[in-house]
Amino acid sequence: MKKIITFLVLLFAVNIVFSQNKAITDESNKQIKVTWETSYEEALKKSKKEKKPVLIYFTGSDWCGPCIKLDRELFHTSKFVEYANENMILYMANFPRNKDLVTKEVAVVNKRLSKKYKNSFPMVLLIDKREKVLGEKRGSYMTEYYYPFFEAVIKKHYKKNPK
């Protein structure tokens, strides 16, 4: 029994190590590039200018299993990239164990956002240009649950129905 458990743990660890090194591609084998704003302040400015909400993604990109899965299955899909380009400004509040993955300045901003919004991992937060929370999803869900959430928030706060 111990040998089987050890084998399964080893298999799981090897899978995680190798899956993190692969480029994420879509069905046609093209690499998917998600454009995250590098500055939170710039994300807010773009939100105001383009009249779109800011999606803040709280993640531990190199240690949080549900975050890694959400990143791969939602954010790195052509469907999400197309939807986001049209409807949202993206900002990743990353809290990696490898501190080299974020600059010190960005880490300070992310820490402030963490305190302000009392985040969990993963957490998807939609805010307006004034940093008012429009909607949030804490934890990991099946990817098809995110689109109705996005659409409901955007429709309520940004797309006015003509009467």
Mean pLDDT by 10 residues, the chain (163 residues): 59 41 46 91 98 98 97 96 97 97 97 97 98 96 95 90 46
- Residue for token digits 């009249």? 51
Q: How far apart are the first and last CA of the chain?
A: 67
pLDDT of residue 126: 98
Instruction: Reduce the DSSP state of residue 116 to 3 states and report it.
Output: helix
Nearest to 97 by CA among 59, 70, 57: 59
DSSP H helices in the chain: 2-20, 40-50, 65-70, 78-87, 104-117, 146-157
pLDDT recorded at residue 17: 37
Q: Is the pTM of this model over 0.85?
A: no
Per-residue model confidence (pLDDT) at position 18: 36
Q: Where are the domains of the chain?
A: 36-154
Q: How far is CA 42 from CA 46, 63, 87, in A?
A: 6, 27, 16
The confidence score (pLDDT) of residue 135 equals 98
CATH of domain 36-154: 3.40.30.10
pLDDT of residue 33: 87
**Nearest Cα to Cα of residue 121 among 95, 100, 144:** 95
For residue 94, CA distances in Å to 40, 45, 163 come to 12, 20, 42
- Look at residue 12 in the predicted model and tell me its pLDDT: 46
Distance from C-alpha of 20 to C-alpha of 17, rounded to nearest angstrom = 6
The pLDDT of residue 147 is 97
Name the nearest CA neighbour of 132 among 149, 116, 145. Answer: 116
